[in-house]
Structure 1
Amino acid sequence: MNDRLAPLYAQHLATLLERADRALARGGFDHLLIAAGQPGTKFLDDNHYPYAVNPPFKHWLPLTRAPGSWIAYTPGAKPKLVFLQPRDYWHVVPEAPAGYWVEHFDIVIARTAEEAIAQLPKGNAAVIAEACPPMDGLQANNPKAVLDYLHYYRAYKTPYELELMREASRIGTRAHRAAERAFRAGESELGIHQAYLAAAGQTDAELPYSSIVALNEHGAVLHYMDFTRTPSKPLRSLLIDAGASASGYASDITRTYAADGHAEFQALIDAMDAVQRRQAASVKAGVDYAQLHVQAHHQLAEVLLAHGLIRMNPESAVASGVTRAFFPHGLGHSIGLQVHDVAGFAKNDRGETIARPDGHPFLRMTRTLEPGMVVTIEPGLYFIDMLLDEVRQTPAAKDVDWARVDALKPYGGIRIEDDVVCTAGEPENLTRDAFAQLG
């Protein structure tokens, strides 16, 4: 894979240098300094949280274990990596940089944080870093004009980034297959999660986000983070939302399964899968993502009607807010270096934003799709008591078949999620393609 990545990386870095030049000019700075970050310390404790490299740092190079390191760039000069490799026998010391990308940087090894800081250019710099006490006159300023520009264009993935996201999808789908097998075998939520980790070959800390492994009614908790230790009996359903990482890039995949013999819920999954496929096929240049979200509500209403959950027409179900009770989150979000990638609401590269549609407060993206953008498509259908109880207090309650709702509540909910690339033509579905490669 490295042979394939080398020329793509060179093009990627050239793109980042051009963006950095323009961002620095926009902000009136002479240098760009980007910190890899440090692991945080737990409150009233001397233990650290798991280290996660700062996203702007890993945008430049595929280093995800480089705490205390820095990238320094001055327009017209070769970018510099100040790599912190401390003398330390308490922890594993990061290995010296190597690989297809190192020739593009001047690399300096530092043994202490102070040595690393001393290697950075002095003067008028945009310093992108977490808040920290100033060291030797260096302090994070995270200038808005620079970040607005860089974040806006991060939505447009380079061919190098897309290749890494394909790899993240291949790892994630392989692990999802293992999780499904564990579910069919009757494992607990923890057992399913452990099967996922083993197949991905990644630890919890290496995954791009905490996995959701929800059996039966737990699927109605949108961010269910607990893991049962004993198998669920009876076994009805699994909703698993879990991703994988590749050189700092994320995949975000959700699948819902019905246990054997639960044909009615399987039919509802199949109907939602058809909705999701229609939405994923609509990820095309010029499409308003917010309107895709609203369209998904109308398509969900058709499913609710066809499966006897409501008796009203789809337009009334959307207008009355009934579909929001069954589908309370957004259709998806931008994805890349972060699972919920930056600038999902950006109107332009100067920090102006596009508001969410009225009545949809949890949508994470409102931009118009353009080639190079990667978004998730994840419509859902859930049986959440708190939200359904609100509908019961409205005039629309008479058009909901509550007996049918109650019969399906033990299954929790359905979410199906793919990562989809907007291109100049038909969309590229990273998730479906990766599952297809598995056979």
Structure 2
Amino acid sequence: MAISELAQAYPQHVAELVRRSTIALERGGFDHLVVPSGTVHYQVFDDRDYPYAVNPQFKAWAPLTRSPGSWLVFTPGNKPKLVYLQPFDYWHVVPQTPSGYWVEQFDIVIIRKPEEALQHLPANAARCAILGEAASALGDYLPDNPAAVVNYLEYHRAFKTDYEIGTMREATRIGVRAHRAAEAAFRSGASEFDIHMAYCIAACQDANELPYHNIVALNEHAAVLHYTELATTPPEEIRSFLIDAGGSFGGYASDITRTYAADRDSEFQALIDAVDVAQRQMCDEVRAGFDYRELHLGAHLKLAGVLKDFGLIDMSPEAALETGVSNAFFPHGIGHGIGLQVHDVAGFAESDAGGVIPRPDGQPFLRSTRTLEPGMVMTIEPGVYIIDMLLDEIRNGEQAGSLNWDRIDEFRPFGGVRIEDDVVCTDGAPINLTRNEFTAQGG
């Protein structure tokens, strides 16, 4: 989506936030919504700061990710107010004066010192729902995160506006461009660290700007689900490459995983292809009315079928799921909501008033249990791995004879396979943001 299209969609986005916030304040019995952008934190016994992370409740309103000490104020019936800290500072780059397509939606006040914000916040803090971290407290304005307000806003955050989907398309465009550069670096024999650097250069984002730490794994390292060590020298033999990395745009994230074989004619490539076919089927199940828990359990059955086809297990997919064997090869959830946060909130919310929808028995790492509805954006990320600590539990149990251990040994040097796309649920067929962008970029 071009900037001009984002500009056209943005007023409707703010109008939707106004509508949701008005209802949330009524639910909580408050007159005002007050949202600090967050503050800079420092390491203990040191003067080094941690990378600043903006409050998601703040960046939901405005595409500002580097504005600590600022505040958003919304009072029903009034235009939203942005209290924007632009300090006098010769040690650091000062945030630029707000400009662009979004500023017309706010009354903007520039302050030079954090405490000056008090002049522009509502007179009675007790009548405010204040959403943020305790470290953002200013005078009487201590974030209290009232449950009625937070539950409502976070539940409805699952339903993306056209503006939000547009920003996520841009985040996907950045991520796909960088993924293609990372694959090229892998094919050239680069180390994990050098692949990571190639990714950052192509994305034009450093590690603190990316939505999460890049997972760049060669060979057996792909069996570590969140491998982020970034070895600086390549292995003597490069067999496989798994990369889980995204991009950021306007405060929104993309989350993309691809797996590659060094030898495109190998059995490992065939395994990648089989997981890819299953993953595309799962993406097509992102349909309105479909229970995400069933999508996850169905993923186990599909992946167990792949394991059986490749001779890794000798049991039916149903038996593999029932006995927990499939969990040893696929130990994480099928995916999660994504948007302002990589693992977006309210994945288990029963309603906008609270409550929890439980995970299926035996599936402790699934991150969402909601029924899919139009506007939701979900990741679909099946994986098959050779993780010894999990397989050893099977080896020492009653299902040991149902696994082909020699065959497992053959695939162990490759680590594993994971493929992940970001998929929009609609009133009809799903929109695969990731696949569409790979196609648009020529592969």
Q: Equivalences for 1:116-127 in 2 at 5 Å?
A: 116-123=117-124, 124-127=127-130
Distance of 1:356 and 1:131 partners within structure 2: 31
Q: Equivalences for 1:17-416 in 2 at 5 Å?
A: 17-123=18-124, 124-132=127-135, 134-260=137-263, 263-416=266-419
Q: Which amino acid in 2 is paired with 1:217?
A: E
Contact map agreement 2:34 2:74 (CA 8 A) in 1: yes
Shift of 1:8: 0.4
Q: Which amino acid in 1 is paired with 2:163?
A: Y
Distance of 1:366 and 1:122 partners within structure 2: 41
Shift of 1:347: 1.0
Shift of 1:101: 0.9
SS of the residue 2:355 aligns to: coil
Distance of 2:415 and 2:323 partners within structure 1: 23
Q: Which amino acid in 2 is paired with 1:43?
A: V
Q: RMSD between aligned alpha carbons?
A: 0.9
What does the per-residue CA deviation read over 1:393-413, in whole Å, with 9 as the maximum and x for residues that have no partner? 122110110001011111011
Distance of 1:176 and 1:265 partners within structure 2: 20
SS of the residue 1:352 aligns to: strand
Shift of 1:315: 1.2
Q: Which amino acid in 2 is paired with 1:126?
A: A
Which is worse superposed, 259-268 or 296-305?
259-268
Shift of 1:132: 2.6
SS of the residue 1:60 aligns to: coil
SS of the residue 1:213 aligns to: strand
Distance of 1:9 and 1:120 partners within structure 2: 25
SS of the residue 2:399 aligns to: helix
Which is worse superposed, 40-49 or 69-78?
40-49
SS of the residue 2:100 aligns to: coil
Shift of 1:314: 1.2
What does the per-residue CA deviation read over 1:364-406, in whole Å, with 9 as the maximum and x for residues that have no partner? 0000000000000000000001000000012211011000101
Percent identity (aligned): 61
Distance of 1:372 and 1:117 partners within structure 2: 37
Distance of 1:2 and 1:222 partners within structure 2: 36
SS of the residue 1:49 aligns to: coil
In structure 2, the partner of 1:10 is 11
Shift of 1:136: 2.3
Q: Which amino acid in 1 is paired with 2:122?
A: P
Q: Which amino acid in 2 is paired with 1:113?
A: P
Shift of 1:60: 0.3
Contact map agreement 2:13 2:162 (CA 8 A) in 1: yes
SS of the residue 1:108 aligns to: strand
Q: Which amino acid in 2 is paired with 1:89?
A: Y
What does the per-residue CA deviation read over 1:290-318, in whole Å, with 9 as the maximum and x for residues that have no partner? 11000000001100110011111111111
What does the per-residue CA deviation read over 1:198-220, in whole Å, with 9 as the maximum and x for residues that have no partner? 00010110000000000000000
Which is worse superposed, 285-294 or 117-126?
117-126
Shift of 1:74: 0.6
Shift of 1:51: 1.0
Contact map agreement 1:12 1:160 (CA 8 A) in 2: yes
Structure 1: which 4+ aligned runs deviate by more than 6 Å? none
Q: Which amino acid in 1 is paired with 2:3?
A: N
Contact map agreement 1:346 1:352 (CA 8 A) in 2: yes
What does the per-residue CA deviation read over 1:235-271, in whole Å, with 9 as the maximum and x for residues that have no partner? 0000100000010100000000000266110000000
In structure 2, the partner of 1:420 is 423
Distance of 2:233 and 2:378 partners within structure 1: 35
Which is worse superposed, 341-350 or 312-321?
312-321
What does the per-residue CA deviation read over 1:12-37, in whole Å, with 9 as the maximum and x for residues that have no partner? 00000000000000000010001110
Give the 3 Å change call, closer, same or farther, for CA 261–20 of structure 1 in structure 2. closer
Give the 3 Å change call, closer, same or farther, for CA 263–216 of structure 1 in structure 2. same
Q: Which amino acid in 2 is paired with 1:378?
A: E
Give the 3 Å change call, closer, same or farther, for CA 241–134 of structure 1 in structure 2. closer
Unaligned runs of 5+ in 1: none
Distance of 1:200 and 1:412 partners within structure 2: 26
Unaligned runs of 5+ in 2: none
Contact map agreement 1:290 1:356 (CA 8 A) in 2: yes
Distance of 2:135 and 2:412 partners within structure 1: 48
Contact map agreement 2:38 2:136 (CA 8 A) in 1: no
Shift of 1:117: 2.5
Contact map agreement 1:236 1:262 (CA 8 A) in 2: no
Distance of 2:99 and 2:17 partners within structure 1: 20
Distance of 1:161 and 1:29 partners within structure 2: 27
Distance of 1:403 and 1:261 partners within structure 2: 22
What does the per-residue CA deviation read over 1:146-196, in whole Å, with 9 as the maximum and x for residues that have no partner? 000000000000000000001111110000000000000000000000000
Distance of 2:14 and 2:144 partners within structure 1: 24
Distance of 1:154 and 1:98 partners within structure 2: 25
